[in-house]
Structure 1
Amino acid sequence: MNPMTRVPPWSFAVLAMFSVQLGSALSVGLIDEVGAGGTAWLRLSMGAIVFLLIARPRLAAIRRADVVPLLALGVATGLMTVFFLAALERIPLGTAVAIEFLGPLTVAAVRSGGRRALVWPIVALAGVVLLTEPWLGEIDPLGVLFAALAGIGWGAYIYFTQTIGDRFDGIQGLALTIPVAALTAAVVGVPQAWGQIDITVLLTALGLALLLPVLPFALEMLALRRMTHTAFGTLMAVEPAIGLVLGLLILAQSPSAVQVVGIVIVVLAGAAAQRGGRREAADARTPARLPAAPGRRGRRAPCAAR
């Protein structure tokens, strides 16, 4: 018997979320050195190299109709990464993840096809208001804007991942789109990082790339071989809470009691939305493919970006 079958599949999903948020938390140190754009560019570039070496994608397999979705997915991934890391420069990790999560949560609610599901993004928005505590006058509008733009990018990521996921398996799709994402991030990343790059920075970027997206991809694949996409998506709604905890433990970002209530509301709303937001065509695909919807961030195909 394969020893992996003895491990509960949900544990792989939790480890994947932990890896994503750990990579985000540890990216803060590199952001201080090369900027948010530079960090995004270096991390995506290292991730692209790893996936190209592993997958060795066949360019001949790309049809003309695939070109635009591939480019769009890569651009969405690159912008999502840049905006999310820019948000981390200004607001706590847990808050940034919760705001960004509004993007995929809204997509899941819309895809459910029922009007009742549309209430969950509104509920989650109420949780985000509690997280940002605007009545204290300490909110960083630009940080919130960057996180919201990352959420829009995540929503676009999901949309185009559905198209690409029907044509390529997870690792082939990543090997084709992450290089495009790296080039997208290079527009702002190269000017920020230029002159600051040394061997330490490169090794740090490589380590972060392994945490996000390489390791989460492998873990999510293991989880999805034994979980339904709906169960996987519901479990992934816990990710904002993991971001809050790691923000506390690694970045010393202590939430208030009101903010804890806010993150709980976001998590519950995300779980409720994911329960109804599923794609039957995706569920019918082979277990070797990643889900086309989040929770996932590509959650979800793995959030190769954040």
Structure 2
Amino acid sequence: MAQQPEVAGAAATSGATEAPGASGGGLRARLAPVGLVLAGGISVQFGGAVAVSVMPRAGALGIVTLRLAFAALVLLVVCRPKLRGHSRADWGTVVAFGVAMAGMNGLFYQSVARIPMGPAVTLEVLGPLALSVIASRRAVNLVWAGLALCGVFLLGGGGGFNGLDPAGVAYALGAGAMWAAYIVFSARTGRRFPQADGLALAMVVAAVLFLPLGLIESGSRLVQPGTLALGAVVAVMSSVLPYTLELLALRRLPAHTFAVLMSLEPALASIAGFLVLSQALTAAEALAIALVIAASMGAVRTQVGRGRTRAREEAKRGAGR
């Protein structure tokens, strides 16, 4: 699944700044954090592919429930978030973050149960891309939006989505909208809670919300040893491991570079779908995914350029005082 990580969305929409020390060191030091991000992306998408293969056993809602529950448990143990000392507004923000997280995961898994992973992630990426374009308010972003729309047009076999299940397309677009909401509330949660405490609490909210849905769909199948084990694997591959790798990478990697790398998620999803699920792409679908990736990268770079220009102007005004 595309990322999900909260830091990725914040970087893509806030005029990202460089991490301390990101420009120093040799070639190996500069490439190491890039490798961590790519490893995290590969883990997310192959975890998603494993989840799709488990769906016949546990159902789409069941596998989401297991993923969120195991991820919440791990984050609670690692982060040990404090429950006292938070305002009503703080709790409202973290609940909204958890709702967005639950919606994003639930809608995405409903999508990949119906359409291949590559197209599903490509459609999902349109949510953060639209948020980036709207936040930027620059004319050049209309170019990126147009490029993305061309990709969607190709992905739909000429605009009608005749080759893709309409429900799967709708779920993927819904997941993209929830991903945009996830980005917004992730940033707000990060400002209100220290370290990853807000993420851990939001994951608990998402897991609690999905537990009844998973039990209704899967019932006793959800607690079978084999299903539990596979759910734990999905949680580690799709949440715990990529979050850890990305947090490590962001200590040494410019945030805008991180956001650009996250734009490669549709390509990684296509590779995972092909290798794990034998989901081959047509030439038109491959071109469509490439166009959306290019649009996403362009939007990120435009945001970064705008942020740097604003920083230079502020520095000049400060020097003139």
What TM bracket, shorter-length normalisation? 0.7 to 0.9
Equivalent residues of 2:53, 2:277 under 8 A apart: no
TM-score by length of 2: 0.82
The percentage of aligned residue pairs carrying the same residue is 37
Question: Paired residue for 2:242?
Answer: 216
Equivalent residues of 1:234, 1:270 under 8 A apart: yes
Structure 1, 111-120 or 30-39: larger mean CA deviation: 111-120
The separation in 2 between residues aligned to 1:136 and 1:235, in whole angstroms, is 28
Equivalent residues of 1:19, 1:211 under 8 A apart: yes
The separation in 1 between residues aligned to 2:31 and 2:208, in whole angstroms, is 38
The aligned amino acid for 1:43 is R
SS in 1 for 2:174: helix
Question: Paired residue for 1:103?
Answer: 127
Structure 1, 44-53 or 124-133: larger mean CA deviation: 124-133
Match of 2:231 among 183, 205, 213: 205
The separation in 2 between residues aligned to 1:120 and 1:165, in whole angstroms, is 28
Question: Paired residue for 2:298?
Answer: 272
Question: Paired residue for 1:146?
Answer: 171
User: How much does 1:96 deviate?
Assistant: 0.4
Structure 1, 236-245 or 127-136: larger mean CA deviation: 127-136
Question: Paired residue for 1:65?
Answer: 89
Match of 1:168 among 157, 168, 193: 193
Question: Paired residue for 1:55?
Answer: 79
Equivalent residues of 2:123, 2:176 under 8 A apart: yes
SS in 2 for 1:43: helix
Structure 2 CA distance for partners of 1:30 and 1:68, relative to 1, 3 Å: same
User: How much does 1:112 deviate?
Assistant: 1.9
Residue 262 (str. 1) matches residue 288 (str. 2): yes
Structure 1, 226-235 or 167-176: larger mean CA deviation: 167-176
User: How much does 1:7 deviate?
Assistant: 5.3
Structure 2 CA distance for partners of 1:137 and 1:196, relative to 1, 3 Å: same
Match of 1:251 among 277, 281, 301: 277
Higher relative contact order (CA 8 A, sep 6+): 2
SS in 1 for 2:196: helix
User: How much does 1:195 deviate?
Assistant: 2.0
User: Which sections of structure 2, spanning at least 5 residues, go unmatched?
Assistant: 1-24, 312-321
Aligned residues: 279
User: How much does 1:118 deviate?
Assistant: 3.5
User: How much does 1:89 deviate?
Assistant: 0.8
The separation in 1 between residues aligned to 2:109 and 2:269, in whole angstroms, is 13
User: How much does 1:251 deviate?
Assistant: 0.7
Equivalent residues of 1:117, 1:273 under 8 A apart: yes
Question: Paired residue for 1:190?
Answer: 215
Query: Per-residue displacement from partner, 1:13-54 (whole Å, max 9, x unpaired)?
Result: 111111111111110122111211111111100110010011
Question: Paired residue for 1:293?
Answer: none
Pairing 1:1-150 to 2, within 5 Å after superposition: 5=29, 8-133=32-157, 137-150=162-175
SS in 2 for 1:196: helix
The aligned amino acid for 2:214 is G
Equivalent residues of 1:47, 1:209 under 8 A apart: yes
The separation in 1 between residues aligned to 2:45 and 2:184, in whole angstroms, is 22
Equivalent residues of 1:9, 1:226 under 8 A apart: yes
User: How much does 1:200 deviate?
Assistant: 1.0
The separation in 2 between residues aligned to 1:188 and 1:122, in whole angstroms, is 38
User: How much does 1:274 deviate?
Assistant: 1.1
The aligned amino acid for 2:65 is W
The separation in 2 between residues aligned to 1:6 and 1:141, in whole angstroms, is 43
Structure 2 CA distance for partners of 1:200 and 1:167, relative to 1, 3 Å: same
The separation in 1 between residues aligned to 2:104 and 2:293, in whole angstroms, is 21
Question: Paired residue for 1:157?
Answer: 182
TM-score by length of 1: 0.86
